[in-house]
């Protein structure tokens, strides 16, 4: 088969790799903004300022875009200038109750992920037409390809084990302290439905395919210069020399064309009313893997252009995230790490729910190498006092990123509004999101339980600093064309083939009918492998 894959994110590249392994031809259409070259790749973060000729430009940006100014939003961290290529705010998007993020980067939004990989279990797949056993060999395959470090511990009750698990990363002192506190109090914590263990992270602890293992440079947020922390562009780079693969950047897809039998006949890119890429004409199959929101727009605009249909997709989902800053009392006064450490989360807290599918996931990030102004400015003190207090607290500071599950609801929608004839813009993707009726109660309960768990671990949670992130901030978008067995319109089959178009597959989160409280990227990759294997 000759397949046109739209998007180079985690779903797109792993679908493509599997399709190539099975003998298919793949043309990948992408916008494809490239990340900048790594700067001083062997220099740790604490020496970068003395190494570079222009450290201000690297650390704060050419226009100081890396500076996070005080605001009511209270976001505790943002992307540095080196990750500025990842996020975009495209024209033609209107949102109500939702703050969507988009990416036109090679590798998509996962170029800025924190590497957490957590398989779904059977309870979390209850609404899916597949079971954990269907995904298990695909999780194994993705783990083999990308490299995942971790260990079998108490959190395995929530995250099924998979093959090819590398030894875990070296814990920083603060994370090690929390792990030791947990072991000493595990009985009481477990009785309260609380478990702690190591994060499973897509970061190498052994060399693999030319990628070096983590060198603990403390530059994860800025972009790992050795690709130890996996991003989808790593897989794309591996696929580029393949004889049956063609990558076409600078090709923003607007819609696909189809005939009277609803069979796709081509894919159009921005700037023309018909396909501009020869290989995009008359494909055997088209695979939308541009991310749930971008794929939804392409689908909706295609139906409008092809038949004048204005349909509304329902069931938009995203994980609610809450940031809970804390101070570990046993770390007060400790000297900061003598050397940079792995910058992202290394331990997680799992809170069991009454319904096993409603597990609450907490990633614990201890403050190590980082730009600290967002932390200082959030303290309820003047700058001089806040800076002095911060020096005392630095080694004891951490943030729990609490994730909640989400369900499909009719009130959460995506629709397409055509632009004015001859007006330039093709139209507007309109997103509407409304939380569940018990939204505030769910958030309050999860935060209360996380704070109680942190106290049992010897941590103090400062009052008034918990931050409920806006809906859409977690970028775990899903649910608009859910997979199922009904064959109803505006859905997909168990193999993620569209029920409305004979040769259209949907390989990203748009097909997920339920969203567990976990980072979805590992499951996006595994499901894309599964779908490609069914062709």
DSSP string, 39-102: SSTT--GGGHHHHSS-HHHHHH-TTSTT-----TT-------GGGTTTEE--SSEEEES----E
Question: What is d(CA 34, CA 12) in angstroms, rounded to the nearest whole number?
Answer: 16
The CA-CA-CA angle for residues 447, 399, 522, to 5°, reads 85
DSSP annotation of 2: E
Cα pseudo-dihedral 522, 83, 169, 151, rounded to 10: -10
Listed in sequence order, the residues at least 6 apart from 12 whose beta carbon sits closer than 8 Å to its beta carbon are 5, 6, 28, 30, 108, 232, 287, 289, 290, 507, 508, 528
Let me know: does 372 contact 390? Beta carbons within 8 Å: yes
Q: Residue 27, SS3?
A: strand
What are the angstrom distances between the C-alpha of 202 and each of 42, 93, 343, 494? 20, 32, 13, 27
Let me know: does 492 contact 481? Beta carbons within 8 Å: yes
Tokens found for residue 157: 């009750």
Q: Exposed, middle or buried, 89 (CB in 10 Å: 0-12/13-18/19+)?
A: exposed
What are the angstrom distances between the C-alpha of 325 and each of 398, 466, 535? 6, 6, 47
**For residue 380, what pLDDT is reported?**
76
The reported pTM is 0.94
535 residues of the chain, pLDDT tens digit each: 999 999 999 999 999 999 999 999 999 999 999 999 999 999 998 899 999 999 988 888 888 777 766 565 556 677 888 998 999 888 899 999 999 999 999 999 999 999 999 999 999 999 999 999 999 999 999 999 999 999 999 999 999 999 999 999 999 999 999 999 999 999 999 999 999 999 999 999 999 999 999 999 999 999 999 999 999 999 999 999 999 999 999 999 999 999 999 999 999 998 644 456 777 888 999 999 999 999 999 999 999 999 999 999 999 999 999 999 999 999 987 877 667 789 999 999 999 999 999 999 999 999 876 656 556 666 778 888 887 877 778 889 899 999 999 999 999 999 999 986 544 458 999 999 999 999 999 999 999 999 999 999 999 998 888 999 999 999 999 999 999 999 999 999 999 999 999 999 999 999 999 999 999 999 999 999 999 999 9
Q: Exposed, middle or buried, 26 (CB in 10 Å: 0-12/13-18/19+)?
A: buried
What are the angstrom distances between the C-alpha of 27 and each of 10, 243, 247? 16, 11, 6
């Amino acid at each position: 088969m000759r397949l046109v894959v739209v998007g180079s994110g985690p779903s797109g590249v792993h679908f493509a790799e599997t399709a190539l392994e099975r003998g298919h031809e793949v043309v990948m259409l992408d916008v494809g903004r490239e990340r900048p070259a790594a700067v001083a790749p062997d220099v740790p973060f604490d020496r970068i300022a003395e190494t570079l000729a222009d450290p201000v430009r690297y650390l704060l940006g050419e226009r100081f875009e890396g500076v996070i100014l005080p605001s009511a939003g209270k976001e505790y961290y943002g992307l540095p200038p080196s990750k500025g290529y990842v996020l975009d705010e495209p024209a033609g998007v209107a949102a109500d109750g939702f703050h969507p993020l988009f990416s036109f980067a090679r590798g998509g939004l996962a170029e800025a992920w924190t590497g957490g990989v957590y398989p779904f279990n059977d309870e979390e797949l209850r609404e899916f037409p597949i079971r954990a056993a269907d995904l298990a060999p695909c999780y194994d395959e993705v783990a083999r390809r990308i490299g995942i470090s971790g260990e079998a511990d108490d959190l395995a009750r929530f995250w099924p084990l998979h093959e090819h698990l590398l030894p875990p990363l070296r814990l920083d002192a603060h994370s090690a302290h929390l792990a030791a506190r947990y072991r000493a109090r595990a009985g009481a914590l477990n009785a309260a439905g609380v478990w702690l263990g190591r994060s499973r992270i897509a970061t190498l602890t052994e060399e693999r395919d030319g990628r070096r293992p983590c060198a603990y440079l403390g530059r994860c947020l800025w972009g790992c210069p050795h690709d130890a922390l996996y991003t989808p562009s790593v897989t794309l780079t591996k696929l580029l020399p393949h004889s049956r693969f063609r990558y076409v950047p600078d090709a923003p897809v607007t819609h696909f064309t189809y005939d009277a039998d609803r069979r796709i006949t081509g894919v159009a890119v921005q700037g023309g009313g018909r396909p501009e890429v020869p290989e995009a004409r008359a494909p055997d199959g088209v695979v939308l893997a541009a991310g749930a929101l971008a794929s939804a727009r392409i689908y909706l605009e295609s139906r409008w252009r092809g038949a004048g249909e204005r349909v509304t997709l329902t069931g938009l989902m995203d994980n609610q995230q809450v940031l809970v800053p804390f101070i570990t009392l046993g770390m007060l006064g400790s000297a900061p790490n003598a050397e940079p450490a792995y910058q992202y989360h290394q331990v997680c807290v799992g809170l069991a729910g009454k319904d096993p599918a409603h597990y609450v996931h907490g990633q614990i990030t201890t403050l190590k190498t980082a730009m600290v102004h967002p932390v200082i400015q959030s303290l309820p003190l003047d700058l001089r006092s806040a800076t002095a207090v911060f020096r005392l607290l630095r080694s004891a500071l951490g943030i729990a990123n609490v994730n909640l599950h989400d369900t499909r609801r009719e009130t959460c929608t995506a629709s397409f509004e055509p632009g004015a004839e001859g007006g330039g813009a093709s139209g507007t993707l309109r997103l509407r999101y409304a939380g569940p009726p018990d939204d505030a109660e769910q958030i309050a309960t999860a935060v209360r339980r996380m704070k109680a768990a942190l106290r049992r671990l010897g941590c103090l949670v400062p009052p008034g600093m918990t931050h409920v992130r806006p809906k859409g901030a977690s970028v775990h978008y899903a649910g608009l064309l859910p997979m199922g067995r009904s064959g109803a319109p505006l859905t997909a089959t168990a193999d993620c083939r569209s029920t409305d178009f004979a040769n259209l597959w949907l390989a990203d989160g748009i097909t997920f009918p339920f969203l567990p409280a976990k980072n979805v990227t590992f499951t996006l990759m595994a499901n894309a492998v599964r779908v490609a294997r069914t062709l």
